[in-house]
Structure 1
Amino acid sequence: MDEHSTNPLDRQDRKTDIITVAELFSSSFVYRVPDYQRGYAWNDEFKMLWKDILRLYRTKAHKHYTGMLVLEEIKDDAVLETEAIIDTTAFYIVDGQQRITSLVIILQSLLNYVQDEITDNNTKEELEKKYKELLSFSFIKRFGYSAKRNDPAASYFDERIYDNSAGAEHTDQYMSNINDAKDFIDKELDKLSGETAAEILDVIANKIVFNLYFVTDDFDVRVTFETINNRGKRLSKLELLKNRLMYLSAQLPKRQGLDLKNKINDSWKSIYKNLCFGDCRLSDDVFLKAHWIVYGKLNKKKGDSFFDDLFADEFAIDEGTHYNLVANKEYDNAYSHIEKYIRSLSRYSYYWRIVNQPEGITGFKNEKELEWIKRLSRISDTLFLRAALMVIVSLDSINWPDKEKLYNKIELFVFVNKLLAQDRNDLSFLVTAVKPMLTADNTNATKLCSDVIQAIDSHPSLKVDPERVVKAVEAFKLNVLDRKENYYYSWNGLSYFLYEYNESLSIANAAPIQWYELSSTSIEHVLPQTPESDYWKTSFGDYSDDVRKRITNSLGNLLLLSCGAENSTLRNYSFPVKKDMSVASKKFAYSDGSRSAREIAEETYWTINEVTKRTQRLIKFMYEHWFSNLSIAQADWEKCSSILMNDLPAPLTDKEYAHKTQLLDKIDTTAERKKADASVKARPSNFLQKQFLGYVNQDSIWIRYNKEKISYKDWFTFKIIEENGNPKRFECGVKINDISYRIIYHYDNNTMEGSYWPNNNYTVIPDEALLPNKIKELLLSFKRYLRKARNITKPPKWLDYSANSK
C-alpha cells in the first residue's frame, strides 16, 4: 500500500476520508453486501438520487456529498476464497449499501446506454478504455452479494443489472425494488442523447463523493450495523431481528452457529417470499407483531412496544432468555430457543399471506375454507383477529365441520359486536384462545378448536344470543343512525353488508364485485345526493330536505357498484337512464352490472315505495343470513326491524303511486341519455403522444402536445395524426429568434421535411444539417423514439422540396 496515494483505500493507515466513485471502483477493490444486511430497499430514494445527479450535471457543481460509506476489510483468506475474490482488496459494506447498489444500477445502465447510443467509433473506444474496469476487472464484479447470504438476489442482480436481462424473475420485495429501479433508470436514459449520458457518467465517477469510514478490529460489526442503521431509510423490525439473531448465533459453538445461521437465512427467504408475491406487499412489521402476540407475549400497547419484548428480553445481547442460556453454557437449549422461533415465524408467514390476501391464493385444498377466509378477511382487518385466523387456518387436522362452526362463530361475533353494536372490543381474547393451537397435533386439534368456540360462546359481556342482538341493534341506532350525519352511508360495515347481500343473490351473468378494488366511490346512491333532474324532483320533491336526506342514505337506496360495470360518474342521472342498457355505451347501466344492480334494474320506477321495499328486503336478509339460528322472539325482531328502517316516510298509497308513476312516465329523458352517453364514451388515451414524450428530456426541451393545431411559440408544440390507432404523421412547430419552424415526419415511408418563415416568407429547408441546434436536439430524441419505440432503425430520409417551392 502507498502511504502517499491520494486514494484513501490505498493507504496502509486507513482513516475517515472523502472518496469519489472513481476511486472507490479502481485498482483491485471489490465490495460485498454481508449476510446481516437487508436486501435492496430503496424506492423513492432511488429517484431522488437520480434527481441529485441530474442537478449536479446541470449546475456543474464541483462535488456532491452523498453520505457515509462504512467498510470492513475482508482479511480471512478462506472467506476471500469462498467469495471467489482472491487477490483482491475486498470489503464488506457495513453501511451505505443502498447508495452503492443504486449507483451501480445507474452506472451499469449508463455504460450499456452510451455503447448503444454513441455512433462515433473514436468516442466509443475512448469511453470503453476509460471505464473498462469501472464495475469489473479480471472477470470479478466489483459489487455483489456475499456468498454467505445464499440469496437468490445475488444471481438476480447479475442477470437484471450486469446482464441487462429484462426477463429475470423477481420473487421477493428486494428483487422487485431492483427491477423497479432498473425500469425507472432505463426510461430516464431514453430521454438523453448518448453524449449527455456519457457526460453524466463522468459526473458520477468524479463528482459524487462519500465520507469513508472503516470498522476496525475492536468493533463488533453486527452491533455497529444495528446502531448506524437507525439513520437513512430505517430498517424494518424484521430486518433488524434477522441481524440480531445472526449476531446471537455467533455466540454458539462454531458448528451450531453455522447451522443456525443457514437456517435463519433460509427462514427469511421463505418469509419474504410469502410477504411479497405478485403485486402484493405485506408489511414486515405487522406480520412480526401478529406472530409475536400469538407465539410470545400478548402486548396490546400501540406502536412498536412489542419489539421491546423481542429485543430487550427474548433475544437481548446482554440479558434475557437467550443470554442466560449462553451464559450457563446451555448451548443446545440456546440453539433450540432461536431455531424453534424462526421455524414458527417462517411457517406462519405462509398462513399470514393466506389470511391477508386470500384472493391471490390458488390450489388451496379446501375451497370452502378459502371462501370462509375471504369472508372473514372482509369483515375486519383487526390485527388480533387476523393473528388468530393465521393460527386456525394452519391446522389441517381439525375436523372440517368443527372448523366451519368456528369460522361461523367468529363472523357472527364480529358482525354483531363490531359492526352493529360498534363495540370497542379489540378481539384480543381470540389471540389468547388460539395460543394452545400453536402446539396442537392430530390428537388434540379438534378439542382445541372446541375450546376456542367455548371462549366465544362464554364471553362475559359480548356473547351472541337473542338478547345481545337486540342490544346490538339498539346500540347501532345510538352510534350510527342517530349520530352519523349520513346514516347508513356512514356505517363502517356497509360495504361488507352489501357485499354479502350481493353474493347471496342468484342472478346469472352479472358483473363481479372485487372486494379488494372497492373504494369510497363504490357505494352508489340510487336516489342521488344531489337530485337535480326532473325525474328525481317529481319522484321525491314532496319531501323536506331532511326527510329526503334520510331516504337518500337509507339502506334500500344504497348499492355496491361492480368493477367496470356501473359508472359512478353517472350517479346524478335519472333512474331510467341509470338502469336502462339502451344507452349506447352500456358500461354504467344497472341492467349490465352486479347482481344487486340487476335486481334494482328490474324495477320500473324508483320512488319511496321501491326504497322501502328494498330496505325491508335487506333487513330480512340480515335476519336470515346471521340470526335465523338464534331463536329471536318475533316481537323482538319486529322491534329491531323498526329501528333498522330508520324512520323512513310511509309508502305511497296505491292511488298516490299511480298518479306519481303517470307523472314519471311523461318525463322525456332523451337529452339526459345523450349527455350520459357522451360522458362515458372512451376518451383518447394519447398513448402515441405519451410514448414519444417518454424519449424527450423535458428539463432541456420545452414541449407540449396540442391535438388541434401546431403553434409557433418559444415552446415546441406537436401532434400525431393517426389512423385506426396507428400513427401516420408527426408535426411539430417552434419559434426561434422570432422565426417559425415546422417539421413533418411521415411514418409510412420514414421521411422527414422541414420549412420556416423568415420575414413571413414560406421557405423549404433543403437539408437537416441547416436546422437550428435546438431543433436538432429534439430530432435526436425523435429518432431515438423511432428506433426504440417504433422499431424504425434506419434514419429518416430528408425530403428537399426547394425545387418545387409551394
Structure 2
Amino acid sequence: MGAASVKPTSLPISELLSSRYPARVPRYQRAYAWNDTQVGDLIDDIKLLLPLPAGTRGHFYGGMVVIKITDSSEPSSNVYEIVDGQQRLATFCLLFAQIAARADELKDQADSQGDGEEAKKLAVLARGVRKSNLYYQRYDVDEGNESEQPRVRLSRVDDDFFQSLLDGTAGPPSRESHELLENAANLLRDELVTPATDATDLADARGKLQRLCDAVLLDSFVIHIVSDSRSSGYRLFSVLNDRGARLTVADLLRSHTLELLDDHASSREKAANLWDDILTEGADLVDDFLMTYYTSLTGKRAKREDLFDDVKDLIFSATKGRVEILAALQKMSGEVSTFKAIHAGMWPYVPSEHMQSVTEWQRSRLQRLVSTIQHKLSHPLLLAARAHSREDEFAKLVHMLELFALRYKNICGAHTGPAQAVYYAECKRLRGLTNGVAANFAALRKALNTLIDKRAPDPIFRNALKDKLRYDGGSPMKANLKELLTVLEDYRPWIKQGSSGQPRPSMINLIDLGQVSIEHIHPQKPEVIVPSLTSHTNRLGNLSYWAPSDNSAAGNKPFALKQPAYAASVVSFNQDLAELAAWDLSALEAREEQLIHDACLIFRP
C-alpha cells in the first residue's frame, strides 16, 4: 500500500457531502450497526457545539476510508465506495432528514398562524437541507433524462429502508439493522432536533434549526482517507480495525472473504448474499456462533481475541479457491441457522425431517437443556451432532446431556474442565464422520458416566440434593427444582414398575416449566403452624409442583384440607400425598429419601 495511493484530508461535513459524492456502501458491506450508545454520543458531541457561534469550535468525528472509482456518468466523474465510516455518515444523513422534517413541521405551524413570510423561509430551509446534503441532480445525456439521486447509499440489505427514512415513507423494519436505523432516526429527532428547536417564536425556532445545521455542516470534521484501489482500501480497513477493535469478527471476515473474491464479480456477489443471510440478526450473534462453530469443527476452545485469525486460517485462508470459499460460506450459512435454533432452545430439525419414532416430549428437552439448565457448554457438541446425526440420535443425545448436566454441574457443582474435554473430543469425532455413518453416542455415554462416578457420585449427589437443592437457594435452584421434580414425574411409571433395567421416561406429558408452580406441602405461611416443620419448609422433601391444569388454590391450608386438591391433581406425586394419613417430619424425610433415591437412578446419562 504505497503512500501515493492513500490521500487523507480533513473535511467539514458540508464539503464531504457537497464534493465527495455520490458515496456508496458496497452491496456486500456490513449492515447498519449503531445502537443507542453510539448515536447518543454523537448527539452529545453536537449539543456541545450549539451554544457557540458557527466557526468558534470544531469537533473531530474520526476517519472515513473510501475507494475512489472513476464513473463518467456522475457529475464529479467519480463514485466514492465507503470501506469504513458508513455508520457515522448514515447517521449524519438521518439527522439532516430530521432537520428537514422539523422545518416542514414549523412551516405548517407558520401557515396555520397566517405567517406566510416565515412559512416561506422555513420551506426554503427544508428544501436547502435536502438538496444540498441528501440528494443531487444526475443528468444522463445519452438517455435524455435527469433524476434526483441520493448522495449516500447503504448496503443492499439496508438502502431501501434507509432511503425511505430519509424521505419519510418508511414502513415497519424487517431486520435488526432496520430497527437500528429507525431507532437512530427517532433518537436524533427526540433527543436533539426537537429539543434544540423548541421555541414559541417561529423565527427563533428557525434560527436554532439553522444553527443546528451549521454545527453539523461547518463545525463537524472527519479525516477523509481516499484510496485509488480496492486492495489498498481493504488493507487500510483491516489495519484500522485490527482484531475487531471497532468491528466484529464477522464484519472482518466478511471484508476478508470478499477481498479474496475481488477478481470474481459473480462469486463476490454470491458471497455477499450469503453474508447478508448470515448476518440477518446482527454481527454480535454471528460472533457468538463463530466461537461455537470453531470449537465444534476443531474440538478446541475458541479464544475471542484470536477468533478472527483462527477462523480465517481454518476456513478462509488465502490459499482457498473461490469454489472452496463459496462452499464454506454455504455450509456456514446452514450452521448459523442451526446455531440460532439451538441458542433459542428450538428444535433444529424442520418438520419434513421429523422421524416418527421421535416424540414431542423428546423435542421439548432441548429447551430444558438450553434455557432451564443453561448448559451453554453443550452448544458446540449439539452443533456438530446436528450436522452428523439423524433426528432420533440427536434426541437421545439431548436427553443424555440434560440428565448429566443437571447432576454434574448444576447440583454437584463439579468442575466443567473434564466435561469440556469429553464434549470437545466428541465434536472432533463427529466432524470426522463420513456421510451415512451413524453417530452412535455409546462411547460418549460411557465417558460421561465415568465422570459421574468420579466427580458426582451418589454420595456427593445425595448430599447436594439435601443441602443445596432448596427453594430458598435462589432463582437458579428454583429452576433446578422444577427440572428435577418434573423429570422424576416423567419416570414415575418406571419407578412404580420396580426400576428394573435402563430408566425409561413415559414421554406422555409435555410440561411447560414456565407454567409450573412449586408447591410447599407444609406452607411457607401456614394457616395452622406445625412447629416441627417450620424450619423444613424449603427442603426438597416438602416440595412438589402443580401442573398448569391443576387447581392450586389450596395454598396455605392445613395438609388435610389440601388433600382433595392433591387427589384431583394430574401430578402423581400429588396423588400419592392424598393417600397419606398425615404430614409430619417423619413423612417429609421419608419422601425426601425416596426422591433422592430415585434421582440417583435417573440422573445418569
TM range (shorter): 0.7 to 0.9
User: Does 1:226 pair with 2:238?
Assistant: yes
2:519 & 2:242 partners in 1: Cα distance?
A: 46
1:246 & 1:144 partners in 2: Cα distance?
A: 19
Number of aligned pairs? 541
Which whole-Å deviations, capped at 9, do the CAs of 1:21-67 have from their partners, x for residues lacking one? 22222257221223564221111111222233334325668334142
Q: CA deviation at 1:233?
A: 7.0
1:32 alignment counterpart: 24
User: Does 1:156 pair with 2:152?
Assistant: no
2:223 alignment counterpart: 212
User: Does 1:389 pair with 2:392?
Assistant: no
2:369 alignment counterpart: 376
1:294 & 1:183 partners in 2: Cα distance?
A: 41
Q: CA deviation at 1:349?
A: 0.4
2:510 & 2:419 partners in 1: Cα distance?
A: 37
The verdict on how the C-alpha distance between 1:357 and 1:126 changes in structure 2, with shifts beyond 3 A counting, is same
Q: CA deviation at 1:286?
A: 1.8
2:519 & 2:89 partners in 1: Cα distance?
A: 50
Give the letter aligned to residue 46 of structure 1: V
Q: CA deviation at 1:104?
A: 1.3
TM-score, L = length of structure 2: 0.73
Q: CA deviation at 1:209?
A: 1.4
1:575 alignment counterpart: 556
2:187 alignment counterpart: 184
Which whole-Å deviations, capped at 9, do the CAs of 1:517-561 have from their partners, x for residues lacking one? x9xxx9897879xx7x7858x334x68xxxx66x24422456789
Equivalent residues of 1:144, 1:154 under 8 A apart: yes
Equivalent residues of 1:502, 1:596 under 8 A apart: no
1:232 & 1:184 partners in 2: Cα distance?
A: 27
Q: CA deviation at 1:356?
A: 1.0
- What pairs up with 1:339-354 in 2 under 5 angstroms? 339-354=326-341
Give the letter aligned to residue 136 of structure 2: F
Which whole-Å deviations, capped at 9, do the CAs of 1:268-301 have from their partners, x for residues lacking one? 122123x45xxxx972222102111222x33226
2:575 & 2:213 partners in 1: Cα distance?
A: 67
2:242 & 2:572 partners in 1: Cα distance?
A: 52
Equivalent residues of 1:489, 1:558 under 8 A apart: no
Q: CA deviation at 1:127?
A: 0.9
- What pairs up with 1:42-81 in 2 under 5 angstroms? 42-43=34-35, 44-58=37-51, 62-77=56-71
The verdict on how the C-alpha distance between 1:598 and 1:283 changes in structure 2, with shifts beyond 3 A counting, is farther
Which whole-Å deviations, capped at 9, do the CAs of 1:61-96 have from their partners, x for residues lacking one? 83341422324342333xx76xxx565543223332
Equivalent residues of 1:56, 1:203 under 8 A apart: no
Give the letter aligned to residue 304 of structure 1: E
Which whole-Å deviations, capped at 9, do the CAs of 1:427-456 have from their partners, x for residues lacking one? 343343244544767632x2xx11x33233
The verdict on how the C-alpha distance between 1:401 and 1:86 changes in structure 2, with shifts beyond 3 A counting, is same
The verdict on how the C-alpha distance between 1:164 and 1:552 changes in structure 2, with shifts beyond 3 A counting, is farther
Give the letter aligned to residue 150 of structure 2: K
Equivalent residues of 1:480, 1:487 under 8 A apart: no
2:450 alignment partner, SS class: coil
Equivalent residues of 1:290, 1:383 under 8 A apart: no
2:81 alignment partner, SS class: strand
Equivalent residues of 2:9, 2:224 under 8 A apart: yes
1:103 alignment counterpart: 92
The verdict on how the C-alpha distance between 1:314 and 1:417 changes in structure 2, with shifts beyond 3 A counting, is same
Task: Decide which of 15, 21, 29 is 2:13's aligned counterpart.
Answer: 21
Equivalent residues of 1:406, 1:453 under 8 A apart: no
Give the letter aligned to residue 461 of structure 2: F
2:18 alignment partner, SS class: coil
1:421 & 1:428 partners in 2: Cα distance?
A: 18
The verdict on how the C-alpha distance between 1:392 and 1:490 changes in structure 2, with shifts beyond 3 A counting, is same
The verdict on how the C-alpha distance between 1:456 and 1:57 changes in structure 2, with shifts beyond 3 A counting, is same
Q: CA deviation at 1:203?
A: 3.9
Extract unaligned runs of 5+ from structure 2: 111-118, 138-147, 491-505
Q: CA deviation at 1:358?
A: 3.1
2:458 alignment counterpart: 473
Name the Cα RMSD after superposition.
Answer: 4.9
**Normalized per residue, which structure has more helix?**
2
Q: CA deviation at 1:199?
A: 4.0
Give the letter aligned to residue 47 of structure 1: G
- What pairs up with 1:657-696 in 2 under 5 angstroms? none
1:136 alignment counterpart: 135
Give the letter aligned to residue 383 of structure 2: M
Give the letter aligned to residue 347 of structure 1: G
User: Does 1:175 pair with 2:174?
Assistant: no
1:165 alignment counterpart: 169
- What pairs up with 1:452-531 in 2 under 5 angstroms? 452-458=441-447, 461-462=450-451, 468=453, 472-476=457-461, 489=473, 494-499=478-483, 501-502=485-486, 504=489, 513-514=513-514
The verdict on how the C-alpha distance between 1:55 and 1:486 changes in structure 2, with shifts beyond 3 A counting, is farther
TM-score, L = length of structure 1: 0.56
1:470 & 1:383 partners in 2: Cα distance?
A: 20
The verdict on how the C-alpha distance between 1:440 and 1:262 changes in structure 2, with shifts beyond 3 A counting, is farther
1:26 alignment partner, SS class: helix
Equivalent residues of 2:471, 2:538 under 8 A apart: yes
The verdict on how the C-alpha distance between 1:607 and 1:174 changes in structure 2, with shifts beyond 3 A counting, is farther
Q: CA deviation at 1:605?
A: 10
Equivalent residues of 2:466, 2:540 under 8 A apart: no
Which whole-Å deviations, capped at 9, do the CAs of 1:648-699 have from their partners, x for residues lacking one? xxxxxxxxxxxxxxxxxxxxxxxxxxxxxxxxxxxxxxxxxxxxxxxxxxxx
Equivalent residues of 2:296, 2:380 under 8 A apart: yes
Give the letter aligned to residue 382 of structure 2: L
The verdict on how the C-alpha distance between 1:359 and 1:200 changes in structure 2, with shifts beyond 3 A counting, is farther
2:251 alignment counterpart: 239
- Bigger CA radius of gyration: 1
2:228 & 2:178 partners in 1: Cα distance?
A: 33
Equivalent residues of 2:6, 2:225 under 8 A apart: yes
2:486 & 2:218 partners in 1: Cα distance?
A: 62
The verdict on how the C-alpha distance between 1:246 and 1:560 changes in structure 2, with shifts beyond 3 A counting, is farther
1:461 alignment partner, SS class: helix
1:52 & 1:523 partners in 2: Cα distance?
A: 52
User: Does 1:114 pair with 2:91?
Assistant: no
Task: Decide which of 180, 183, 202 is 2:213's aligned counterpart.
Answer: 202
1:605 & 1:63 partners in 2: Cα distance?
A: 82
Equivalent residues of 2:84, 2:237 under 8 A apart: yes
1:300 alignment partner, SS class: coil
2:599 alignment counterpart: 622
2:471 & 2:166 partners in 1: Cα distance?
A: 59
2:23 alignment partner, SS class: strand
User: Does 1:260 pair with 2:267?
Assistant: yes
1:18 & 1:600 partners in 2: Cα distance?
A: 80
1:703 alignment counterpart: none
2:495 alignment counterpart: none
Equivalent residues of 1:153, 1:174 under 8 A apart: yes
1:566 & 1:20 partners in 2: Cα distance?
A: 69
2:217 alignment partner, SS class: helix
